[in-house]
Amino acid sequence: MRRSSTAVLVVATLGTLLTAVPARAQAQTRVHGDCTATACHFDVPPGTYDVKVLLGGESASSTSVSGETRRALLPETAVPAGERVARSFTVNVRTPEGEPTGAEGTPGLDLTLGGSFPALAGIEVTKALPHARMRSRGGTPAPRQIFLVGDSTVCDQPGAPYSGWGQQLPQYLRKGLSVANYADSGESTVSYLADARLWGTVRPLIRRGDLVLIQLAHNDKTTDEATYRTNLETLVADVREKGGEPVLVTPVVRRWFNSDGTLNNGTALLVNGLGVDHPAVVRSVAAARDVPLIDLTAKTKALVESLGVEASKALYLYDEKRDNTHTSVHGATVYASLVREELVARHLVPEGQVRVG
């Protein structure tokens, strides 16, 4: 309690400052945000914002930051007593703030402090600057983003204990690169392309230099192979037409074991009732269209099988919901770390723009 009270007094003394730069020719406009012991709110319009936090207090502290619809933005950071540590990240603010077909959420930017002993000494929010690729090539200035196209295993889940890996990915990225998570529960390649709130909204937002990670398969249960392949190719072509870089992601596995401790070749490895092997088709399209591939099926399969029947339960919601498809916060965080590793390994994101840990 003492740590939280100290944090509030320091923030109030410093002033919770928002610096917004609407246009290069305009003067800076400063607006104050509101902070309590555990949360901050900034009354800003939709856009992309850089956030700098100063962590620490009189006592030893350990602070994490989440925002909007339960997005992990900064991993828990320990600070010794009497010291201060600055950390920065970039966050996407939009409406709806979580799933595109879900609740609109609250206007502006909402940040929540977590961790075992949170302490916030200062905070500053600034309109994000254009990324280097846009400045060098011309066009409409915009910060670089990673767009996520996916289903419930990727999306910003609105309520505990659920979490998608896309919800946990932002904490692994440093300032200058944000995640715009447009994954939505229950979507297939067919429904995602057909819904104006989904692809019809995402496609116009893509700018040159942006990454678009596409993981759709779990709900393509009745999609034939030709249609599934064509839909993936359409998504790839649309991203490239806008100047973005598509990245195909094979789906995370379901936790369904054979008696010998391996995962089931059908349900677990995403082969639908028509015999369509979704990961195989994704790999085939990636090879044929020269698209970077993150083989999350192979990565998650290896991890789940190495953990075994009992230990792998913690990755999913088996204990809470008898759910072998959707991940826990822990599982989503682990799977997001796999995506982070692949983004760096495939030179899609510079190593200096990711956090390790």
Q: Write out the two tokens for 130.
A: 């254009």
Most confident of 6-10, 15-19, 129-133: 129-133
**The predicted structure's pLDDT at residue 356:** 84
> Percentage of the chain surpassing pLDDT 90?
85
- The gap between the terminal CA atoms of the chain, to the nearest Å, is 28
28 vs 156, higher pLDDT: 156
Q: Is the pLDDT of residue 117 over 50?
A: yes
Q: Write out the two tokens for 55.
A: 């962590």
In angstroms, the Cα distances linking 125 to 89, 132, 176 are 10, 20, 13
Span 52-68, pLDDT tens digits:
999 999 999 999 999 99
- Cβ atoms of 133 and 86 closer than 8 Å: no
Q: Is the pLDDT of residue 1 over 90?
A: no
Task: Name the DSSP class of 28.
Answer: P
Q: Write out the two tokens for 20.
A: 């917004």
Asked, as a colleague might, if the bond just before 22 is cis with ω within 30 of 0, I would say: no
Span 71-87, pLDDT tens digits:
999 999 999 999 999 99
User: Is residue 33 very low, low, confident or very high in pLDDT (cuts 50, 70, 90)?
Assistant: confident
- Cβ atoms of 41 and 110 closer than 8 Å: yes
Angle between helices 296-311 and 329-345 (to 10 degrees): 150
Sheet holding 61-67, edge to edge: 34-35, 39-42, 109-117, 61-67, 71-79
Cα 298 from Cα 209, distance rounded (Å): 27
Q: Write out the two tokens for 298.
A: 């192979």
Cα 278 from Cα 225, distance rounded (Å): 8
Cα 2 from Cα 223, distance rounded (Å): 57
Q: Write out the two tokens for 340.
A: 């982070």
Mean pLDDT computed over 156-181: 97
Whether this prediction's pTM lies above 0.85 is answered by: yes
Domain positions in the chain are 2-127, 132-353
Q: Is the pLDDT of residue 12 over 60?
A: no
Q: Write out the two tokens for 107.
A: 């206007």
Cα 110 from Cα 93, distance rounded (Å): 9
> Percentage of the chain surpassing pLDDT 70?
87
In angstroms, the Cα distances linking 248 to 29, 54, 150 are 40, 37, 11
Q: Is the pLDDT of residue 31 over 90?
A: no
| Tally: H helices and E strands in the chain | 10, 17
Cα 281 from Cα 258, distance rounded (Å): 23
Cα 216 from Cα 220, distance rounded (Å): 8
17 vs 333, higher pLDDT: 333
Span 240-299, pLDDT tens digits:
999 999 999 999 999 999 999 999 999 999 999 999 999 999 999 999 999 999 999 999
Query: 132-353: what fold?
Result: Rossmann fold (3.40.50)
Mean pLDDT of the chain: 89
Count CA within 13 A, CB hemisphere, residue 59: 13
Pick the CATH number of 2-127 from 1.10.3470, 1.10.730, 2.60.120, 2.30.240: 2.60.120
Span 290-343, pLDDT tens digits:
999 999 999 999 999 999 999 999 999 999 999 999 999 999 999 999 999 999
At residue 213, what are phi and psi to the nearest 5 degrees?
-90, 125
Nearest in space to 303 (alpha carbons), one of 247, 255, 357: 255
Q: Which amino acid is at 31?
A: V
**The predicted structure's pLDDT at residue 131:** 57
